[in-house]
Structure 1
């Protein structure tokens, strides 16, 4: 007869099973005993999961970190003592992930799993459960993805001038300026742009307009946030609404129509493929980074999880760095 092992991270919505007499050697049974260096890996991961919950980390981060640590536990053994997990054993696990597991491990997934180990063991060290961090000596290997396209300061001025010219033309069209100024100020994604409702825009203080990014999907509500809009947004919006008369959403055309607007501006200014939703999002992020915006505030502004931010922050540093 096999012993039933309880899942470390219960499935969402699952009802807990009633266990009358759990076996003594069940590795993942919760315990009130304080952690120490001789505690099992399973106990350490369980305590770390509670720590993540207390910090209010996003469901995505909880799921990703939980999956990574369960995979590490599968390799190392649930009953392995925390102080037996050396740098050599961590490197063996990482080697197994890449070459011996039999399942492809993409570079981004590998980097995320290494990040998970670093965060987990840094927490164990900070809470004085272990006396040395075995993950600290392991360096991140750069993911070979190209740096995103961004607009330089002079190009931003050129783009804004071209967009403003449409608004001031004889046949006025405020859409180009409204769209470009919105994207450069907020750094929101295309899907978030299309989801903006007029009721999400707060103009109660016209000098300091704000935008609420909301998600209908409950699983993504950790991305909801309040963002500053350009100081002239209220006037631009009034001119836009007068002509196009949107009823519910800010943009009641298709996403392709907005892409055409950006493409026309790119052609008009000679900026080519550097004008897109993605490039304007990264341009916003780089400008905020250079201006000294707190990194965690910038992460929240962009709606990124702590895992996704790991790579994004590295790319931002390289994009914003001074010439060598």
Structure 2
């Protein structure tokens, strides 16, 4: 069993059209979503032998094809590990030889209730329970989609995700002061622009290479975010267009810091220190992190009228991670 305190990390995962789609971005930035053909995903029928499954197949026998399904869908190693662990727990509850066709919604709710209330003194974290509901819906919807089941017993399960506390965004004047302070150092200026105007995650900033930055068109500087091979999405990428000012900022940064391959050749802790100095110089008392700047990007996108699904793609979030993030950004952008 996974420890309840362990929280699932979500890596980038989304599906997009084969043709590139341009979306307007924050303060003039825009996004190009592109995806290279992936032989694994375009194969038909299903490439992982799910066609051999029937409603009489046991839960235990579903483990391997389900794992292959998750990998083909580009789920992260962590997600695959968690979902397979959940499948093992559910199989132990039902009996590993139980045919999937005999499972009904009441079996699912009984398992969830047993997990939530069955162990005195041990209450799973709300996020852990939410993940287990996500697993059930993912697993049984896959079986129904493949025609193994006529009906999905998880279809009417309600996914109740705990609402995290909302971050305190920066006011317009605070953003102006932060940008002014960041401009005193080329590296900090580049870092703030990538998070505030492109919404990059810290790990994406750390992975960014010089050859991922395209300044061919100075008015529309382009960066390419590539998924790490460990995520199973090495054939996918997303491209984002930043404001024209980024071209000057990046040229200055390359010249002053003599960067050759890695855009930021430092640890993620160093990135925190770099931002913290600018926040202090700007006289901002709020807790400002790179995630807060990414949140600011997302909120501004929604306020500018960007559709939620387009924003999900810009942020590189999986459908599962978006369930929680979407509500957070909606509440921040349009408070009641």
Question: Is the TM value for this pair above 0.5?
Answer: yes
Aligned to 2:230: 219
Cα distance in structure 1, aligned partners of 2:57 and 2:182: 67
Aligned-residue offset at 1:276 = 1.7
Cα distance in structure 1, aligned partners of 2:275 and 2:52: 60
Which moved further from structure 2: 62-71 or 110-119?
A: 62-71
Aligned-residue offset at 1:206 = 2.4
> Match for 2:96 among 78, 91, 104?
78
Query: Residues 301 and 225 from structure 1, CA distance in 2 versus in 1: closer, same or farther, beyond 3 angstroms?
Result: farther
| Unmatched runs of 5 consecutive residues or more in structure 2 | 1-48
Aligned-residue offset at 1:181 = 1.6
Give the structure, 1 or 2, with the largest relative contact order (CA under 8 Å, sep 6 or more).
Answer: 2
Correspondence 1:316 to 2:335: no
Aligned-residue offset at 1:119 = 2.1
Aligned to 1:241: 254
Aligned to 1:63: 81
Aligned to 1:278: 291
| Larger of the two Rg values belongs to structure | 1
Aligned to 2:166: 147
Correspondence 1:163 to 2:179: yes
Correspondence 1:180 to 2:192: yes
Aligned to 1:17: none
Aligned to 1:96: 114
Indicate the SS of the match to 1:117.
helix
Which moved further from structure 2: 247-256 or 84-93?
A: 247-256
Aligned-residue offset at 1:308 = 3.2
Cα distance in structure 2, aligned partners of 1:166 and 1:140: 41
Indicate the SS of the match to 1:186.
coil
Aligned to 1:87: 105
What is the total number of aligned residue pairs between the two structures? 285
Query: Residues 178 and 145 from structure 1, CA distance in 2 versus in 1: closer, same or farther, beyond 3 angstroms?
Result: same
Aligned-residue offset at 1:232 = 2.0
Cα distance in structure 1, aligned partners of 2:272 and 2:314: 23
Query: Residues 247 and 125 from structure 1, CA distance in 2 versus in 1: closer, same or farther, beyond 3 angstroms?
Result: closer
> Match for 1:250 among 250, 255, 263?
263
Aligned to 1:18: none
Aligned-residue offset at 1:173 = 3.9
The 5-angstrom pairing of residues 251-266 of structure 1 reads: 251-252=264-265, 255=268, 258-266=271-279
CA-to-aligned-CA distance 1:20-73 (integer Å, 9 cap, x gap): xxxxxxxxxx8965523x443345555544544444444443333222222211
Cα distance in structure 1, aligned partners of 2:50 and 2:136: 23
Correspondence 1:202 to 2:221: no
Indicate the SS of the match to 1:275.
coil
Aligned to 1:35: 54
Cα distance in structure 2, aligned partners of 1:56 and 1:195: 19
RMSD: 3.5
Aligned to 1:5: none
| Unmatched runs of 5 consecutive residues or more in structure 1 | 1-29
Contact 1:68 1:116 survives alignment (8 Å):
yes
Cα distance in structure 1, aligned partners of 2:317 and 2:289: 19
